[in-house]
Amino acid sequence: MGPERNMKTEIAFTLNGFPVSLSVSAHKRLLDVLRYDLGLTGTKEGCGEGECGACTVIVDGRAVNACLYPAPEVDGRRVVTIEGLMDPENELSVIQKTFVQSGAIQCGFCSPGMIMATKALLDENPDPTDEEIRAALLGNLCRCTGYVQIVEAVRLAAEKLEKRR
């Protein structure tokens, strides 16, 4: 490991609504900062190569793969993880509830990433078609459910969120 790899940089960002600052090495991944430096283990590591979506978090409103995202790049940005979705009364969010209700969670390993990708989709497009849902979740793999229940969960969440507006 060369000396530049050990170089640390100070970063400050908003994590689930709270300000966070810490020192990270230049090549550290956002995924490792979240899981190991900050202890937020809801974000999962599957492939580690940008292929499975298990590590999906939202940065400035956009779903990104935290396993590919360089930690220094979150400086000044807003990051939301699955831990940030609970509502202020500490209840599961609408999206989390509809995933449970629809049977879209089996082993649960893909679920945080699926749910964060869904959150990014519905924030941007509150009434997506099934095709749009499938397109938005294309980068999120599930080896258990066969996706039908996941699409149902997203559709149901969209309906429930629409009623709340």
Site for ligand FES in 64-93 (CB under 6 A): 65, 67
Contact map string, positions 119 to 148, toward ligand FES, x by CB under 6 A: -----------------------xxxx---
149 binds ligand FES (CB under 6 A): no
- Looking at 64, 105, 117, 120, which residue binds ligand FES (CB under 6 A)? 105
User: 46 vs 84, which CB is nearer to ligand FES?
Assistant: 46
Distance CA 16, CA 84 (A): 5
118 binds ligand FES (CB under 6 A): no
Q: Which amino acid is at 86?
A: M
Least separation in angstroms between CB 102 and ligand FES? 12
Residue the block writes with tokens 């170089």: 7
User: 103 vs 126, which CB is nearer to ligand FES?
Assistant: 103
Q: DSSP 3-state assignment of 88? A: coil
Contact map string, positions 48 to 67, toward ligand FES, x by CB under 6 A: x-xxxxxx---------x-x
Q: H-helix or E-strand containing 62?
A: strand 62-65
Q: Which amino acid is at 158?
A: A
For residues 33-69, one letter each, b for 16 or more C-beta atoms within 10 angstroms of the residue's C-beta and e for the rest, the string is bbbeebebebbbbbeeeeebbbbbbbbeeebbbbbeb
User: 53 vs 84, which CB is nearer to ligand FES?
Assistant: 53
Q: H-helix or E-strand containing 18?
A: strand 18-25
Sites of contact with ligand FES (CB under 6 A): 45-48, 50-55, 65, 67, 105-110, 142-145
